[in-house]
A and B are shown apart, each in its own frame.
Chain A
Amino acid sequence: MDAEQTRAVLAMMWRIRAFEERVGQLKRADEVHGLIHLSIGQEGVAAAVCGQLRTADAVYSGHRAHGHALAKGASMARALAELMGRRDGLCRGMGGSMHLVDVEHGFLGATGVVGGNIPLALGSALALRAAGRDAVAVVFFGDGAVQAGLFAESVNLAALWRLPVLLVCENNGFAEFSPRSAHTPVERVRDVVAPFGLAGGTVDGNDVDAVWDAVAGLLPAVRAGEGPALLECLTHRLRGHYEGDPDRYREAVSSAEWRERDPIARLQRAATGDGRLDPDELPGFERAARDEVERAVLAARESPFPDAALAASLVYGR
């Protein structure tokens, strides 16, 4: 990443971090309704992948979707209004945290059932190719989805039809409430897909420069129609599976260890160390993000709740 790209990615990571920390507080204050999954600690993958996509590229995500939606261009204010169930939400308060959709920015959607989003990305890729466009589809999923049958079905079909899909596995080592070792003897997702000949590999997902470079290396071939790729990003979610998860199934990382692993802190160290960024400009990223979040909170509180009749009127598209 050059200096400008680094600034853009760092700003996005701070936006996601600030947004999600505030969402956690709003959840505890019962201003955010429903089930919330935070991606704090995994922001680098969303920012480095989506930072290299075009608006026309389709992105799909799962239940831990806030970062992907923001990184693909969704308005923070409208995302927060959605989480607060308000009329100005991205989905008019109909979807909430697990079902964010922002067609305008190519965020075609988040789905709440683990792995259910993977074949959807194949369909977008098929449609984009049928329409003669060089856009790609990208789907984010966790390592837990790899054990779902549709993962194997989708990888096979994407490889068979050489669909322009980038599969991004955020491997945080935990599938819901239990470690990888309880789910599969195969440690690396790249080994699961090895027979299909997909391009890609495994990177440290908390090393944002490494994620950026890997995506930059894969995307042109996917875009050119040379077939799908899978990028496995090893990462760590700092929070539990959901907000309120007692998180007794794993040991908390120490604060010293977290300073080493935090993708934001790492990028800041790397970029100031090699002269891309000036240490003086660092506080501005966090401040700007936190200010934006507070403006979003005020805007969402101002937005009325939707008319309840909307729930029955939107059953069918007309």
Chain B
Amino acid sequence: MSTHETTYIGAVMEAIDQEMARDERVLLLGQSVGGRPDDPFVQRYGENRVRVTPISETAEIGMAVGAALAGMRPVVDATMAEFLLVAMDQVVNEGNRFHHMSGGRVRVPMVLKAGYGFTAGWAGQHTGSIYGMFMGVPGLKVALPSTPADAKGLMATAIRDDNPVLFLHHYLLTLDRGEVPDGEHLVPFGQAVIRRPGADVTLVATGWTVPMALAAAATLAADGIEAEVIDPRTIAPLDTATVLASVRRTGRLVLVDQATRHASVAAVLAAEVAEAGFDALRAPIVQVTGLDAGIAYSRPMEEHVLPDEAKVVAAVRRVVEHSGTRV
């Protein structure tokens, strides 16, 4: 497979571009989309398929639901995840419900693309890792890419999916560069990937915390602790089987999550593993998450609220020490 280097956000747009070229039912709508004749998407696909919308999240997303019901495959660029909150009825109580409520008679193939987690001094209202409030909503799928290649492959899969998909790209990864497959590239939903194999402890991380967990694993390896790093890639559907299988090998689980502790992927995975993998655990499950607090503006406070590499390393050491056996 030939590849090329590009940015994380470039990979997202590459997938949208390729899917728009492949299927004329794909539309691109949003407040920061098109809007001028020299926009490359407008030039390629025309103003009927690429449309700038007013700051009317509810009408914009509701309209996308209606267009999907009528056979189109809209991609809404909602810009920031928090803007979805303005249109919550349409996001969690309309588009995602139709297939089920209609007894399977209709489908709503729609992508809501939004950035999240911009913890770089953006303070309270533009920094949340708010996927916890979406991952338990039936009918909605949620993708959290952590690499440029996955950003491309998950977006392509999202556009081809017959359900509403929340595609949340991490703002702090926007300009990260990486190798991305040329041409068609699809990453299946509900399949976690093991980013680094290891026998001593299982580390699960999403989005921006994946590179953090990998850095922690490298630090720990210098001390002879081999961490296995798993990236679920989609959190609805959530691949608990890969995590459980890993815990059965390692006996230890540390969950890393940028979200607030009580609305995190970590909390869901901790419950699943406690129920289905209790016999395999040699130490308590430890969660390294954001605090149950808003993101503060001032840098030291911002850092205090969030997980970081040192907190992950410390958690792993605690788990290893608890289980008594030096690995």
A194 within 8 A of B: no
**Distance, CA A125 to CA B104, complexed state (A):** 22
B31 within 8 A of A: no
> A293 CB to closest chain B CB, in angstroms?
22
A240 within 8 A of B: no
> A291 CB to closest chain B CB, in angstroms?
28
Nearest-CB residue, chain B, relative to A128: B70
> B107 CB to closest chain A CB, in angstroms?
4
A41 within 8 A of B: no
Q: Are B107 and A317 in contact (CB under 8 A)?
A: yes
- Contacts of A92-125 to chain B: CB distance below 8 A: 92-95, 99, 101-103, 108-109, 111, 113, 116, 118-125
Q: How many CB-defined contacts (below 8 Å) exist between A and B?
A: 154
Q: Are A160 and B72 in contact (CB under 8 A)?
A: no
Q: Are B103 and A157 in contact (CB under 8 A)?
A: no
* Of the residues A89, A127, A161, A317, contact of B71 by C-beta under 8 Å: A127
Q: Are B94 and A116 in contact (CB under 8 A)?
A: yes
CB-CB under 8 A from B64, the residues of chain A are 123
Given A91-B102, A92-B103, are A124 and B69 neighbors across the interface (CB < 8 Å)?
Answer: yes
* Of the residues A116, A121, A161, contact of B89 by C-beta under 8 Å: A116
- Contacts of B89-103 to chain A: CB distance below 8 A: 89-90, 93-94, 97-103
Q: Are B103 and A314 in contact (CB under 8 A)?
A: yes
A278 within 8 A of B: no
Q: Are B66 and A317 in contact (CB under 8 A)?
A: no
Given A101-B98, A113-B89, A153-B54, are A123 and B67 neighbors across the interface (CB < 8 Å)?
Answer: yes
Q: Are A317 and B63 in contact (CB under 8 A)?
A: no
Q: Are A126 and B67 in contact (CB under 8 A)?
A: yes
Given A123-B64, A123-B66, A131-B71, are A94 and B90 neighbors across the interface (CB < 8 Å)?
Answer: no
Q: Are B54 and A156 in contact (CB under 8 A)?
A: yes
Residues of B in contact (CB 8 Å), total: 45
CB-CB under 8 A from A108, the residues of chain B are 66, 69-70, 106
CB-CB under 8 A from A58, the residues of chain B are 70
B245 within 8 A of A: no
Q: Are B58 and A317 in contact (CB under 8 A)?
A: no
> A296 CB to closest chain B CB, in angstroms?
18
**Distance, CA A99 to CA B94, complexed state (A):** 11
A301-318 vs B, Cβ < 8 Å mask (1 yes, 0 no): 000000000100011111
Interface size on A, as a range, is 35 or more
A195 within 8 A of B: no
* Of the residues B27, B72, B74, B102, contact of A99 by C-beta under 8 Å: B102
CB-CB under 8 A from A161, the residues of chain B are 51
- Contacts of A128-166 to chain B: CB distance below 8 A: 128-131, 137, 149-150, 153-154, 156-157, 160-161
> A95 CB to closest chain B CB, in angstroms?
4
Residues of B near any A CB (own CB < 8 A): 27, 48-49, 51, 53-54, 56, 58-72, 74, 89-90, 93-94, 97-109, 138-139, 141, 162-163
What are 26 sample pairs from A and B whose C-beta atoms fall under 8 A apart? A60-B66, A89-B103, A91-B102, A92-B103, A94-B104, A103-B105, A111-B94, A113-B89, A116-B62, A120-B65, A120-B69, A122-B59, A123-B64, A124-B66, A124-B67, A124-B69, A127-B71, A128-B70, A130-B49, A314-B100, A314-B103, A317-B104, A317-B107, A317-B109, A317-B163, A318-B162
Residues of A near any B CB (own CB < 8 A): 58, 60, 89-95, 99, 101-103, 108-109, 111, 113, 116, 118-131, 137, 149-150, 153-154, 156-157, 160-161, 310, 314-318
Closest 4 CB pairs of A and B: A123-B66, A119-B62, A92-B103, A127-B70
